[in-house]
């Protein structure tokens, strides 16, 4: 079973967070939703309340995947979380999967200097900023660069999540999940 961490914060984009969580659970991953706030329940970008199963400082372990939803100010809160950024740096150093969507590639990863040698994509409004942080910016909906997977935003959340399933479980499992969701 794959162990996945999805950190959330006040202002996280709910479509991205919930799509990542739901699709990975359907595939058979054990998903831990962790709040980077001082409280486990967050209020997402459009007012939806989401509950974390733990606070980020109390759920540390080795993760097969860490998947960062975007949204503002959610991505800012993720970027300001010392415990999360420590986990993200460990994830990259150990060549385990790291994924980020929407504002998160630029705001969480780029602003911490973690994309200098990477090709990535992000929400179009952040692509200019990303250009100064990454080796190259792609306009593709989902971009895979070794163990890093990035995507553009809420409208690409399903495609992004299925790419994560493919990396964790293989293309047959991703196809089966996609078929069940009527997304192919």
**Residues forming the active site:** 102
Say which residues have a Cβ less than 8 Å from residue 46's Cβ, sequence separation at least 6: 14
Reported residue count of the chain is 184
Q: What is residue 62's three-state secondary structure? A: coil
Burial class (CB in 10 A: 0-12, 13-18, 19+), 60: middle
- Sequence-distant (≥ 6) Cβ neighbours of residue 164 within 8 angstroms: 20, 23, 24, 65, 67, 97, 99, 149
């Amino acid at each position: 079973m794959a162990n996945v961490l999805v950190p959330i914060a006040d202002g996280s984009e709910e479509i991205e967070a919930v799509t990542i969580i739901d699709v990975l659970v359907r595939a058979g991953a054990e998903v831990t939703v962790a709040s980077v706030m001082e409280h486990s329940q967050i209020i997402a970008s459009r007012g939806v309340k989401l509950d974390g199963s733990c606070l980020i400082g109390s759920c540390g372990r080795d993760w097969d995947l860490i998947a960062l939803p975007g949204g503002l100010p959610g991505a800012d809160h993720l970027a300001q979380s010392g415990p999360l950024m420590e986990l993200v740096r460990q994830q990259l150093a150990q060549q385990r999967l790291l994924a980020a969507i929407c504002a998160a590639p630029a705001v969480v990863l780029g602003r911490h200097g973690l994309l200098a040698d990477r090709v990535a994509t992000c929400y179009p409004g952040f692509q200019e900023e990303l250009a100064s942080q990454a080796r190259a910016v792609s306009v593709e909906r989902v971009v895979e660069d070794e163990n890093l997977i990035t995507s553009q935003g809420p409208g690409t959340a399903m495609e992004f999540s299925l790419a994560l399933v493919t990396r964790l479980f293989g293309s047959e499992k991703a196809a089966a999940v996609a078929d069940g969701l009527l997304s192919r």
